[in-house]
């Protein structure tokens, strides 16, 4: 099952040449999820050859402009381009008001159903679930209410050994039973052992998206052992005071929390406009957590 994330924006609030505000596309088994939607996300989707009509679910972490200002334009364009299938948006309740007032004054009546689900930033909760994936909120600490999102693959079915299945002429219902990890007994009482005909599925993978937050260590329980952690790293550690004042994290702190949470890899993003060169932020995080990477525009990371 495909499970990767493509970065559409790596910058924080103020604009920088050739960087874009937060937005990511998670591809889970060819279903596209948009995580945050800063200004210009539509253009970034075009640039990265991602069809916006394929997105059916959008998650917005909080109501600072660099995380949601591209949403109204994207939703409007999908409408103008003839979308009829539903779109689901998860975000703070007030986002609905912001969307509604703009649709009202532009006299836009969407041709497609827009389902809005309000998140809360007090306790983690599962907000989305389908056959492949479960999404739960991560409670972050920012200047305004803010949640991260944790995407967890569901346990996959066991892999069948096609050759053995065919050679032994296992009945179809037997295959389904054994894929779930149970032995199967046919009408004549013959027992098929699941371990003979199937092998263990790959372990479910998980992705945690943490932006923006004070590095308060409270959410560490939620991100423990994830395969990939995206964590904001707005400042270098020499600006720890500024990071704390503005409820942000330094690159060093991002590395420390990744280490402590024992994650597989760390993706760094949400860089302050003051940094023209991002290598120093990467090196700072790598000094404590070597498998750190810069989450730059256009890059795709396997989770």
Question: Residue 20's closest CA among 303, 260, 299?
Answer: 299
Element (H, E) at 174: helix 172-179
Compare residues 174 and 269 and give the one whose CB is closer to a copy of itself: 269
> What CA–CA distance (Å, rounded) separates 298 from 48?
6
Question: Residue 233's closest CA among 154, 166, 160, 294?
Answer: 294
Residues of this chain that bind a copy of itself (CB under 8 A): 13-17, 20, 39-40, 42-43, 46-47, 63-66, 69-70, 72-73, 76-77, 80-81, 92, 94-95, 97-98, 101-102, 105-107, 143-144
Compare residues 82 and 241 and give the one whose CB is closer to a copy of itself: 82
Closest approach of Cβ 19 to a copy of itself, in Å? 9
Compare residues 101 and 302 and give the one whose CB is closer to a copy of itself: 101
Closest approach of Cβ 253 to a copy of itself, in Å? 22
Classified as helix, coil or strand, 40 is: coil
> What CA–CA distance (Å, rounded) separates 106 from 24?
27
Annotate 132-144 with DSSP letters as a single string. Answer: SEEEEEEE---SS
Compare residues 63 and 157 and give the one whose CB is closer to a copy of itself: 63
Cα angle 7, 129, 74 (rounded to 5 degrees) comes to: 40
Closest approach of Cβ 62 to a copy of itself, in Å? 9
Compare residues 99 and 268 and give the one whose CB is closer to a copy of itself: 99
Closest approach of Cβ 114 to a copy of itself, in Å? 15
Q: Which two tokens stand for residue 95?
A: 């986002």
Q: What is the DSSP letter of 63?
A: S
Closest approach of Cβ 241 to a copy of itself, in Å? 18
For residue 263, what are the contacts with CB-CB under 8 A and spacing of at least 6? 208, 223, 224, 225, 226, 227, 228, 229
> What CA–CA distance (Å, rounded) separates 116 from 99?
10
Q: Which two tokens stand for residue 154?
A: 């569901």
Out of 66, 186, 212, 238, pick the active-site residue.
Answer: 66
Compare residues 98 and 299 and give the one whose CB is closer to a copy of itself: 98
Element (H, E) at 282: helix 279-286
Element (H, E) at 97: helix 93-105
66 among known catalytic residues: yes
Closest approach of Cβ 293 to a copy of itself, in Å? 25
Sheet holding 23-28, edge to edge: 114-119, 87-92, 55-59, 31-37, 23-28, 3-9, 300-302
Catalytic residue numbers? 66
């Amino acid at each position: 099952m495909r499970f990767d994330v493509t970065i559409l924006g790596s910058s924080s609030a103020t604009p920088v040449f050739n960087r874009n505000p937060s937005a990511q596309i998670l591809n889970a088994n060819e279903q596209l999820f948009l995580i945050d939607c800063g200004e210009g996300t539509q253009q970034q989707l075009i640039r990265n050859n991602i069809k916006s009509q394929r997105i059916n679910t959008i998650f917005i972490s909080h109501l600072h402009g660099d995380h949601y200002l591209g949403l109204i334009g994207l939703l409007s364009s999908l409408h103008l381009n003839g979308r009829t299938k539903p779109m689901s948006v998860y975000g703070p309740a007030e986002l609905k008001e912001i969307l509604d007032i703009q649709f009202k004054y532009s006299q836009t009546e969407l041709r497609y159903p827009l389902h809005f689900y309000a998140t809360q930033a007090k306790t983690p909760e599962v907000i989305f679930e389908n056959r492949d994936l479960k999404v739960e909120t991560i409670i972050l600490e920012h200047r305004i209410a803010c949640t991260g999102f944790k995407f967890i693959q569901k346990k996959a079915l066991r892999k069948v050994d096609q050759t053995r299945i065919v050679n032994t002429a296992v009945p179809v219902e037997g295959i389904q039973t054994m894929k779930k990890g149970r032995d199967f007994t046919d009408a004549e009482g013959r027992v098929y052992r699941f371990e003979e005909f199937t092998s263990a599925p790959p372990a479910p993978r998980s992705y945690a998206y943490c932006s923006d937050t004070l590095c308060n260590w409270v959410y560490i329980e939620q991100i423990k052992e994830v395969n990939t952690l995206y964590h904001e790293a707005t400042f270098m550690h020499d600006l720890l005071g500024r990071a704390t004042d503005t409820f942000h994290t330094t690159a060093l702190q991002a590395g420390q929390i990744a280490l402590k949470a024992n994650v597989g890899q760390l993706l760094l993003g949400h860089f302050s406009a003051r940094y023209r060169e991002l290598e120093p932020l990467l090196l700072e995080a790598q000094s404590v957590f070597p498998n750190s990477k810069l989450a730059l525009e256009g890059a795709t990371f396997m989770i």
